[in-house]
Amino acid sequence: MDARRVIEAVRDGEGLSVEMAEWFTRGLVDGSVGDAQAGAFAMAVLCRGVGAAGRVALTEAMRDSGKVMRWDLGGPVVDKHSTGGVGDCTSLLLAPALAACGAYVPMISGRGLGHTGGTLDKLEAIPGYSVNPDEESFRDLVAAVGCAIVGANDRIAPADKRLYAIRDISGTVESIDLITASILSKKLAVGLDALVLDVKTGSGAFMAGQDQAVALARALVDTANGAGCKTSALITDMNQPLCFAAGNALEIIEVMQTLTGSQVNEALWDVVSALGGEALMLAGLARTAEDGAARIDQALESGRAAEVFGRMVAGLGGPIDFVEHYLDRLPSVPVMRPVPAPRRGYVAAIDTRALGEVVVHLGGGRLRAGDRINPGVGLSSLAMIGEDREPNEPLAMVHALNAEAAERAIARVQAAYHLAEGAPEEPPLIHERIV
């Protein structure tokens, strides 16, 4: 077998066999497949697809291209993946809540991509928190605490790392087949028994249209189940931020307020509860998703999830008293400015992607690879769809390094909000369930 034969088979609509997928991914890792061949393969997949069986074959081959973890913990190993959004920090609540319910959660997360925030960037706002522990420490923490949220190492799905870099420069990022294999190869390499997917739709999502989001969710669910991991997905709304804040330290504050019950974000809680209910049902720790959601609610209400979160933070190098003193431990910035509403009206629509871009340009994300992030910048007190504002009443608060950056952000936030005379219909939190 050779790379040309594999490329031609996909190009001609023959799909991708298990043998072809295994050979090609080995070539990606050992270098026998060149960059031009990898790019041609990615373009052939984008244009012709590989079908359901081909997606499973590619996902399993990429999963097996590196280390596949095995666990012996006395309980199910579960995880969650989100396709990315703005002001979305569900992972930080969900992982400790699942652990408090008897699951083990070795959560491999990522950094911000484009306008979307990254879980690792948020956690690194916590002083001392290490997202790159060695494997032994990672395993020990999952066993002792029940969860650990960290980054992937080079041994996890190395074929995906190579192919993703090629996709990024060859105009093939949008292929659902390749997106599916990329996401799932890394998740399944961690040795999961169950996986719940949070697929976003709306103005702040990568898949803005609901039909696109459903198509991706269906591909992910069918492929993961075909690869032997019990999986379901929720299509959740990203027509507005899920949190009242967008920015790394600011979102951590909102997480801690919800975990400790000092100021609960009900929308964030409800999405976490729904995702957690799915995960517990899939893992066999709840009879139904509704029963699982009730268990997640109890873990949050009782403070057990907050306790687990604190132990995880301490175990990864953060402050041992973080839960009690998070406001004193998190970084802030010197300038805070309100964003005045330009006129009276109800918030009818939000360009959520634009809000994410505001955070990036304030320094809370990366405009170029290698950019350093300032964890304290961002937006807080965000107005949500359906809320009414009088002229000059704040739509949000800008947290910036200087007055000039704040003024630029104010204008961009104002442009992202559409005000109308009548009250709009508020979007649902959860649009659809895919099983």
Taking residue 140's Cβ as centre, other Cβ atoms within 10 Å add up to: 14
Q: Is 311 a catalytic residue?
A: no
**DSSP code, position 373:** P
Q: Which of 55, 63, 122, 167 is catalytic?
A: 167
Distance of CA 247 to the CA centre of its chain: 14
Is 186 catalytic? The answer is yes
User: Left, alpha or beta for 74 (phi > 0: left; psi -120 to 50: alpha)?
Assistant: left
Q: Which of 122, 187, 200, 295 is catalytic?
A: 187
Residues 6+ positions from 15 with CB-CB distance below 8 Å:
9, 50, 51, 53, 54
Residue 119 appears among annotated catalytic residues: yes
Nearest residue to 243 (alpha-carbon basis) of 93, 417, 371: 93
200 is a catalytic site residue: no
User: Quick one: which of 330, 312, 295, 284 has its CA closest to 109?
Assistant: 312
Question: Is 80 an active-site residue?
Answer: yes
Q: Is 81 tagged catalytic?
A: yes
Distance CA 123, CA 110 (A): 11
* Separation CA 173–CA 166 (nearest Å): 9
Determine which one of 55, 162, 186, 389 is catalytic. Answer: 186
Q: Which two tokens stand for residue 303?
A: 């403070």
In contact, 338 and 413? CB cutoff 8 Å:
no
* Residue 381 known to be catalytic: no
- Residues counted in the chain: 435
CA distance 72 to 328: 38
Catalytic one among 79, 88, 121, 177?
A: 79
Question: Looking up tokens 């992937």, which residue turns up?
Answer: 152
CA–CA gap between residue 37 and residue 43 (Å, rounded): 10
Helix (H) or strand (E) holding 227: none
Q: Which of 55, 80, 122, 399 is catalytic?
A: 80
Active-site annotation holder among 182, 185, 258, 380: 182
Catalytic residue among 116, 119, 236, 273: 119
Say whether 122 is catalytic.
no
Residue 220: Cβ-neighbour burial (10 angstroms; 0-12, 13-18, 19+)? buried
Q: Is the dihedral of CA 193, 80, 59, 32 positive or negative?
A: negative
Catalytic residue among 59, 82, 109, 170: 82
SS3 of 433, please? strand
Spot the catalytic one: 63, 81, 161, 329. 81
Three-state SS letters, 72-123: CCCCCEEEEEECCCCCCCHHHHHHHHHHHCCCEEEEEECCCECCECCHHHHH
User: Would you name the residues annotated as active-site residues?
Assistant: 79-82, 119, 167, 182, 186-187
